[in-house]
Amino acid sequence: MDELRLGIYVPSCGRAKTTNTYKLIDDCTYVVRKSEEEEYRKAGIPKIWAVDDELIDNYVKVSNYINDNSEEDIIFTIDDDVDAFLYRLDNTVKIEDKDIILSEIERIAQIIVDLNIGFGAEDAAITPWNYVSEFTFKGTTGAMRWYNKKAYKSRYDEKVYHNCDLDVMLHELLVNRIILRPMYFCVDAKTDTNEGGNSSKTRQDQIDCANEMKRRWGRHFDYNFKNNKPKISVER
C-alpha cells in the first residue's frame, strides 16, 4: 500500500470459544480485556493485544482505543462473530481463498487513501436485493470498518451508544462529504447477543439514544420505534 501500513483488528469480548474471524484472516490482532487474555490464548488466537479492562469495556471505548493507540496508518476493524466473507452482486457467493479476502480488504483501504476519505464500512444488510452498485457513499454500517487516520475526524460517543456507528458516519459526511461503502464485499455474521455482544439494550436506552441523535442531526436522522430501525437522509 505505497509505504502506508494497514492494521487489522478484531475487538472481542466473551467469545474466546466461539469466535471464528481469525480463521478467515491470517494476520489479524484480537483486542481483548486483560481479564480474558488467558482464555483467548488457550483458544489458540495467534495475535492478541490485551488492554486494561476499564479502557475497552464497551464498543465505543474499544473503537476509540484502537484508533488512538494503534501504530498503523490505516485501520481495519471487524466483528469477532464472522462466519464467512461474501461477494454480492445478483446473488451472494462465499469467498474461500484467504488471499482474496485480504486483497479485498487492502483494495478498499487503498481506495480510501487515494480519495482521502476518513471512514469506510460495509453495508449492514447482505441480501442481494440491497446491491445497487459496487460502492455507495452514505448509509448504515455493518461488521467491517476502515479508518484512514490522516483524514478521519470523528470519535465514537457513548451518549449515542446504540447508534454510535451512524453518528460517526454522519459526522464524516459533514467533514469529509463522503464515506466509502463497498456493496459487493460483505460478511455473514451472527446477530449480536448479550453473551460477548453489544446488545444489552433497554427500551429506554434506545429511546434516549434516538432522541439524542435527532437532536444532533435534525432532519438527517429519524427512528422508527415500531421496528427499531434508524433512517438516514443525507442528500449528495
Burial class (CB in 10 A: 0-12, 13-18, 19+), 179: buried
Q: What's the full length of the chain, in residues?
A: 236
Residue 191 has what pLDDT?
Answer: 56
Whole-angstrom Cα distance, residue 202 to residue 209? 11
Q: Is residue 220 part of a domain?
A: no
What pTM did the predictor assign?
0.91
Residue 99 has what pLDDT?
Answer: 98
pLDDT averaged over every residue in the chain: 91
Whole-angstrom Cα distance, residue 180 to residue 117? 7
User: What type of residue is 216?
Assistant: R
Look up the CATH number of the domain holding residue 51. Answer: 3.90.550.10
Q: Is residue 215 part of a domain?
A: no
Q: Is residue 210 part of a domain?
A: no
Whole-angstrom Cα distance, residue 30 to residue 52? 14
Domain hosting residue 82, numbered range: 6-196
Q: Is residue 33 part of a domain?
A: yes
Residues with Cβ < 8 Å from 89, sequence gap 6 or more? Answer: 128, 131, 184
Q: Is residue 43 part of a domain?
A: yes
Q: Is residue 48 part of a domain?
A: yes
User: What is the count of structural domains for the chain?
Assistant: 1
pLDDT tens for residues 38-75? Answer: 999 999 999 999 999 999 999 999 999 999 999 999 99
How far from the centroid of its chain's Cα atoms is residue 112's Cα? 15
Q: Is residue 231 part of a domain?
A: no
182 close to 86: Cβ distance less than 8 angstroms: no
Q: Is residue 142 part of a domain?
A: yes
Residue 211 has what pLDDT?
Answer: 94
Residues with Cβ < 8 Å from 201, sequence gap 6 or more? Answer: 162
